[in-house]
C-alpha cells in the first residue's frame, strides 16, 4: 500500500557502471523521469533527498580495465568525472552524485553485511568454481570461454552462448579456458555466504503484494520470480576488485556487486547529510519517509526482491514505496549499442548542440518508454522542436511578451472587466497545475508533458481568438486586459514547465523579471504578475532546427555503422566433416511463435510456444537479452525438431530455435523470406 502524506522523500536513481559514458537510453529510462519527479516535489515544498552515483565495482569494471590496459581504479576515475559533468550540464539536479569507491560506502556496506552475519541471516555454502592457476584467482563467468555444447561455437561464455542463445554454466563448456591467461581452469572448492531468499519468500511476497499500485511490468516481473520460487543467492564473490568481505576467513573475497551497489543509496545519503548538517536516518529509517527507486527494467529483481530482502534481514531500514522502472529506448530502428557506437552520447550532444538541453529533455520525456520500448529518431527530434516547442510553446510566449513591449511599454498592463471567454480561460488555467502535478506524482510523465503543452495551446488559442494587436486600435483597455491574461498564463508556464524544461523556466523568469522563482502552490493563479510590473528583455525561447544540423547527426550514426561493417570479424574454423547420413538425421522445421514469456529467475531464457503444425511444442531459448517476449510473438522461426528434450530451470525444452549472430553479437531469427506452412521441413 502506498504511503499517504509522507513527511519527506528519498528518491534514488540507478547507480550506473563507471565503465563508459552515458547515452540517451540511460537518460530516458531512469535519470530524466527521476529528475522530473524530484523537481516537482521540491516545487511543492516537499523535503527531498535525490541520491545517485557511479557503481565502481564488479566484473564490467575489470573487463574494461583489461581492455584499455589500465587499472580498475583508473577506469572508474576517468568515467566518474565525465558522467558527473554531463549530468550537471544536462540539468539533472541530484542532491549528491557520489561513488561506491568512497570510504564511507565501504564502511556502510561492511557494517550492513556484518549485521546480517551476526544475526545469522547468511548460510555458508561450499561450491565448486573454476580457478585460473596461472592468474591465481577464481573466474567470473565472463572470464571463461569455451565451446558451446549445443551449437559448437568456440567462443561461448561461461554464462551464455551468444551465437545460439543457450543459457550455460561454466562447467557445461567444452574445453574451457581463462580469458586472463589462456590456460585451462580447474575446479576448486570455495566458500561463500548466501542470502536465504527461499526462507524469506513469505515476507518478500507480503511486501510485493502490498503494492498492487506498482507499474504492471514491475509487479508482473516480481510475481514471476515469486511464482517460480526464490533460491538462495551468494552475497560474496571470489574477486580481487570490490569491497572486502569483513570476515577473518574470507581472504580474497569481495561483496557481491548487487549487495554493495544498492547500499550505495544509503552511504551516499549519509555523505550528503553530513555535508548539509542533516540527520541521514530520517531518510532511511523513518516510517513517514517515502522511498522511490528509479531504474531500468533490467534491474527490477535487484530493487524489488534482493535489496528489500537485505533490508528486511537487517531490520532497521524502510523499504521502497515504489519502483517505477521504465522499458528501453531504441535508436533509429535499432537497439542502442555501446560496442557498435550506435548511440547518442550525452556529452557529445551537449558539445555539438549547445544550449539545447531542454529540447532533448522534451523529446525524451515525450517518447519516454514508460510501458513499452520506445524509439528516438533525429527527424522526430527536429519535428518536435520545430512544430511543438517553437511553433506552440515558444510562439505563445514570444507573442505575449513582444506585444506587451510594443503596446504597454514593457509593463504588465492594467486588467479591466473580464468577458465570459476570459473567465472560461482562467477557469481552465486553474485546472492545469493539478492535472500536471498528479500525472507527475503517479509517474505518468508523458501525460504530464501533454498537459503542459495543452496549457501553451490554451494561450495560443486565446491570443488567436482575441487578437489584441487589432483590438488595441479601437479598444486599448480591452487589449490591456487580454495581454494581462496572456502574461499570467506565461508566468504559470514558467512554474509548471520547470520539472521538464528547467533552462526554459529560468529564461521565462528572466524575461518576466521574476526574481524569486515561483513555486507550485502559486500555479493556477490569475495574478502572479502585478499590474505595472516591468518585464525583462524578451528573446526567443527556442530556435528552429534546420535539416543540415539533423543530417549531420544522422550521418554520424551512418558513419559509425559503416565503420562496424568494415571491421573484420573472426570467422570460426570449419568443423569436422560429417556424412550426408549424419546431416539427414537432423529434422529442421519451420514454426510460428504463438506465446512467449520470460522464465522466472533467469535473465537469459524465454519460454516459447511454437506452432509446429503438429499440435505445438514448448521450446526454451536463451534469447531474453536480445528480444522482448512481445516482439517475437507471431514470428516464423527455424527450429531443430528432433533434439532430445532437455530440462532447464524446471521447464522442458522440446527443440532448439536456430539463430544467427550479427557483427555486434546480437542474435537474429532465421526465418524464410516468404511465409511457409508450420511444420514445413528444411532440407
- Give the model confidence (pLDDT) of 413-432 as tens digits: 999 999 999 999 999 999 99
Q: Residue 547: pLDDT band by 50, 70, 90 thresholds?
A: very high
Asked if 35 and 96 touch (Cβ cutoff 8 Å), the reply is: no
Residues 110 and 150 occupy one common structural domain: no
Q: Is residue 350 in some structural domain?
A: no
Rounded to whole angstroms, the Cα distance separating 573 from 588 reads 23
H-helix segments, 248-356: 257-276, 300-301, 307-314, 346-352
- Give the model confidence (pLDDT) of 76-97 as tens digits: 999 999 999 999 999 999 999 9
Residues 441 and 310 occupy one common structural domain: no
Rounded to whole angstroms, the Cα distance separating 649 from 652 reads 8
pLDDT at 303 over 70: yes
Residues 54 and 83 occupy one common structural domain: yes
Asked if 74 and 65 touch (Cβ cutoff 8 Å), the reply is: yes
Q: Which long-range contacts (CB under 8 A, 24 or more apart) does 376-381 make?
A: 376/24, 376/28, 376/329, 376/330, 376/331, 376/332, 376/344, 377/331, 377/332, 377/333, 378/332, 378/550, 378/553, 378/554, 379/550, 381/545, 381/550
Q: Is residue 337 in some structural domain?
A: no
Q: How far is CA 507 from CA 92, 381, 384, 636, in A?
A: 17, 21, 20, 53
Query: What is the structure's pLDDT at 568?
Result: 43
Question: 165 vs 99, which has greater pLDDT?
Answer: 99
Residues 512 and 388 occupy one common structural domain: yes
Least confident span in 160-174, 226-240, 282-296, 543-557: 160-174
Of 615, 623, 571, the C-alpha closest to 150 is 623
Q: Residue 572: pLDDT band by 50, 70, 90 thresholds?
A: low
pLDDT at 473 over 80: yes
Query: What is the structure's pLDDT at 519?
Result: 92
Q: pTM higher than 0.85, yes or no?
A: no
- Give the model confidence (pLDDT) of 156-204 as tens digits: 888 777 666 565 778 889 999 998 888 999 999 999 999 999 999 999 9
- Give the model confidence (pLDDT) of 392-414 as tens digits: 999 999 999 999 999 999 999 99
Q: Residue 600: pLDDT band by 50, 70, 90 thresholds?
A: confident
Q: Which CATH number is 604's domain given?
A: 2.40.50.140
Of 498, 541, 548, 499, the C-alpha closest to 388 is 541
The pLDDT of 435-453, averaged and rounded, is: 98
pLDDT at 571 over 60: yes
- Give the model confidence (pLDDT) of 262-290 as tens digits: 999 999 999 999 999 999 999 999 999 99
Q: Is residue 540 in some structural domain?
A: no
Of 114-123, 328-337, 572-581, 623-632, highest mean pLDDT: 114-123
The three-state secondary structure class of 445 is: helix
pLDDT at 567 over 80: no
Query: What is the structure's pLDDT at 539?
Result: 93
How many distinct structural domains can be found in the chain?
4
Mean pLDDT over all residues of the chain? 93
Residues 386 and 499 occupy one common structural domain: yes
Boundary of a domain, candidates 164, 193, 222: 193
pLDDT at 140 over 90: no
Residues 394 and 509 occupy one common structural domain: yes
Query: What is the structure's pLDDT at 665?
Result: 66
Q: Is residue 604 in some structural domain?
A: yes
Residues 397 and 505 occupy one common structural domain: yes
Residue 27 corresponds to which cell in the numbers above? Answer: 537518460
pLDDT at 532 over 50: yes
- Give the model confidence (pLDDT) of 44-80 as tens digits: 999 999 999 999 997 788 888 888 889 999 999 999 9
The alpha carbon of 143 is separated from its chain's Cα centroid by a whole number of angstroms, namely 27
Rounded to whole angstroms, the Cα distance separating 307 from 305 reads 6
Q: Which residue has the cell 517460480?
A: 228
Q: Residue 370: pLDDT band by 50, 70, 90 thresholds?
A: very high
Q: Which residue has the cell 495551446?
A: 457
Residues 137 and 111 occupy one common structural domain: no
Asked if 323 and 218 touch (Cβ cutoff 8 Å), the reply is: yes
The pLDDT of 625-644, averaged and rounded, is: 90
Question: 440 vs 237, which has greater pLDDT?
Answer: 440
Q: Report percent pLDDT > 90 for the chain.
A: 74
Q: Is residue 372 in some structural domain?
A: no
Enclosing domain of residue 666: 580-682
Numbered residues of the known binding site for Zn(2+): 148, 151, 161, 164
Question: 674 vs 256, which has greater pLDDT?
Answer: 256
Residues 389 and 508 occupy one common structural domain: yes
The pLDDT of 91-104, averaged and rounded, is: 98
Boundary of a domain, candidates 139, 172, 193: 193
- Give the model confidence (pLDDT) of 3-44 as tens digits: 888 999 999 999 999 999 999 999 999 999 999 999 999 999
Numbered residues of the known binding site for ATP: 338
Q: Is residue 419 in some structural domain?
A: yes
Q: Residue 562: pLDDT band by 50, 70, 90 thresholds?
A: confident
Residues 145 and 109 occupy one common structural domain: no
Pairing of β 96-99 and β 48-55: parallel
Q: Residue 516: pLDDT band by 50, 70, 90 thresholds?
A: confident
Numbered residues of the known binding site: 148, 151, 161, 164, 338
Query: What is the structure's pLDDT at 167?
Result: 58
Boundary of a domain, candidates 331, 349, 368: 331
pLDDT at 570 over 80: no
Q: Which CATH number is 172's domain given?
A: 2.170.220.10
pLDDT at 654 over 80: yes
pLDDT at 253 over 60: yes
Q: Which CATH number is 261's domain given?
A: 3.40.50.620
Q: Is residue 530 in some structural domain?
A: no
Q: Which residue has the cell 559533468?
A: 85
CA atoms within a 13 Å half-sphere pointing along the CA-CB vector of 630: 5
Q: Which residues contact 306 (CB under 8 A, 6 or more apart)?
A: 195, 197, 233, 258, 262
Residues 396 and 485 occupy one common structural domain: yes
Residues 266 and 161 occupy one common structural domain: no
Query: What is the structure's pLDDT at 569?
Result: 55
Would you call 591 exposed, middle or buried from its count of C-beta atoms within 10 A (0-12, 13-18, 19+)? buried
Q: Is residue 570 in some structural domain?
A: no
Amino acid at each position: 500500500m502506498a504511503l499517504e502524506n509522507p513527511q519527506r522523500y528519498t528518491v534514488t536513481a540507478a547507480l550506473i557502471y563507471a565503465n563508459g559514458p552515458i547515452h540517451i537510453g540511460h537518460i530516458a529510462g531512469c535519470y530524466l523521469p527521476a529528475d522530473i519527479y524530484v523537481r516537482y516535489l521540491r516545487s511543492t515544498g516537499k523535503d527531498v533527498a535525490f541520491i545517485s552515483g557511479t557503481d565502481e565495482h564488479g566484473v564490467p569494471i575489470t573487463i574494461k580495465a583489461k581492455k584499455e590496459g589500465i587499472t580498475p581504479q583508473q577506469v572508474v576515475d576517468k568515467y566518474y568525472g565525465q558522467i558527473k559533468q554531463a549530468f550537471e550540464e544536462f540539468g539533472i539536479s541530484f542532491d549528491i552524485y557520489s561513488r561506491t569507491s568512497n570510504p564511507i560506502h565501504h564502511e556502510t556496506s561492511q557494517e550492513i553485511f556484518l549485521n546480517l552475519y551476526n544475526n545469522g541471516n547468511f548460510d555458508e555454502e561450499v561450491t565448486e568454481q573454476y580457478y585460473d592457476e596461472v592468474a591465481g584467482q577464481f573466474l567470473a563467468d565472463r572470464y571463461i570461454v569455451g565451446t558451446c555444447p549445443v551449437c559448437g561455437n568456440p567462443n561461448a561464455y561461461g554464462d551464455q552462448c551468444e551465437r545460439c542463445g543457450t543459457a550455460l554454466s561454466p562447467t557445461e563448456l567444452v574445453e574451457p579456458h581463462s580469458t586472463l591467461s589462456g590456460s585451462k581452469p580447474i575446479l576448486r572448492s570455495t566458500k561463500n555466504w548466501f542470502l536465504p531468499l527461499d526462507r524469506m519468500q513469505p515476507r518478500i511476497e507480503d511486501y510485493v503484494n502490498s503494492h498492487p499500485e506498482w507499474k504492471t511490468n514491475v509487479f508482473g516481473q516480481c510475481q514471476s520470480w515469486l511464482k517460480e520460487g526464490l533460491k538462495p543467492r551468494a552475497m560474496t564473490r571470489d574477486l580481487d576488485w570490490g569491497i572486502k568481505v569483513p570476515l577473518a576467513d574470507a581472504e580474497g573475497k569481495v561483496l557481491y556487486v548487487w549487495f554493495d551497489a544498492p547500499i550505495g543509496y544509503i552511504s551516499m545519503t549519509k555523505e550528503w547529510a553530513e555535508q548539509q548538517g542533516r540527520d541521514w536516518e530520517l531518510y532511511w529509517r523513518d516510517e513517514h519517509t517515502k522511498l522511490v527507486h528509479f531504474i531500468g527494467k533490467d534491474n527490477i529483481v535487484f530493487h524489488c526482491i534482493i535489496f528489500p530482502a537485505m533490508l528486511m534481514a537487517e531490520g532497521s531500514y524502510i523499504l521502497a514505496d515504489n519502483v517505477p522502472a521504465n522499458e528501453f529506448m531504441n535508436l533509429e530502428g535499432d537497439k542502442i549499442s555501446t560496442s557498435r557506437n550506435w548511440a547518442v552520447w550525452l556529452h557529445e550532444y551537449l558539445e555539438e548542440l549547445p544550449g539545447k538541453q531542454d529540447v532533448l529533455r522534451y523529446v525524451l520525456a515525450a517518447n519516454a518508454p514508460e510501458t513499452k520500448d520506445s524509439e528516438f529518431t533525429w527527424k522526430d527530434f527536429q519535428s518536435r522542436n520545430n512544430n511543438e516547442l517553437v511553433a506552440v510553446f515558444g510562439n505563445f510566449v514570444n507573442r505575449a511578451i513582444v506585444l506587451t513591449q510594443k503596446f504597454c511599454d514593457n509593463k504588465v498592463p492594467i486588467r479591466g472587466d473580464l468577458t465570459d471567454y476570459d473567465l472560461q480561460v482562467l477557469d481552465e488555467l486553474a485546472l492545469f497545475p493539478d492535472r500536471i502535478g498528479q500525472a507527475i506524482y503517479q509517474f505518468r510523465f508523458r501525460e504530464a508533458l501533454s498537459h503542459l503543452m495543452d496549457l501553451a495551446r490554451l494561450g495560443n488559442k486565446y491570443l488567436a481568438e482575441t487578437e489584441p494587436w487589432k483590438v488595441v486600435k479601437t479598444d486599448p483597455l480591452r487589449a490591456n486586459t487580454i495581454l494581462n491574461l496572456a502574461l499570467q498564463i506565461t508566468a504559470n508556464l514558467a512554474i509548471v514547465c520547470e520539472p521538464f524544461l528547467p533552462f526554459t523556466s529560468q529564461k521565462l523568469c528572466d524575461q518576466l523579471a521574476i526574481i524569486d522563482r515561483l513555486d507550485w502552490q502559486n500555479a493556477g493563479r490569475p495574478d502572479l504578475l502585478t499590474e505595472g510590473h516591468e518585464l525583462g528583455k524578451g528573446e526567443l525561447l527556442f530556435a528552429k532546427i534546420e535539416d543540415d544540423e539533423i543530417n549531420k547527426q544522422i550521418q554520424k550514426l551512418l558513419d559509425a555503422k559503416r565503420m562496424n561493417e568494415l571491421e573484420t570479424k573472426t570467422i570460426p574454423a570449419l568443423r569436422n566433416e560429417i556424412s550426408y547420413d549424419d546431416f539427414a538425421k537432423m529434422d529442421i522445421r519451420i514454426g510460428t511463435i504463438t506465446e512467449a514469456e520470460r522464465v522466472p529467475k533467469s535473465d537469459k531464457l524465454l519460454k516459447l510456444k511454437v506452432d509446429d503444425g503438429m499440435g505445438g511444442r514448448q521450446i526454451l531459448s536463451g534469447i531474453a537479452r536480445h528480444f522482448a517476449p512481445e516482439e517475437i510473438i507471431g514470428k516464423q522461426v527455424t527450429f531443430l525438431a528432433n533434439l532430445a528434450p532437455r530440462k532447464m530451470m524446471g521447464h522442458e525444452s522440446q527443440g532448439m530455435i536456430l539463430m544467427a549472430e550479427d557483427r555486434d553479437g546480437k542474435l537474429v531469427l532465421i526465418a524464410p523470406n516468404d511465409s511457409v506452412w508450420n511444420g514445413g521441413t528444411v532440407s
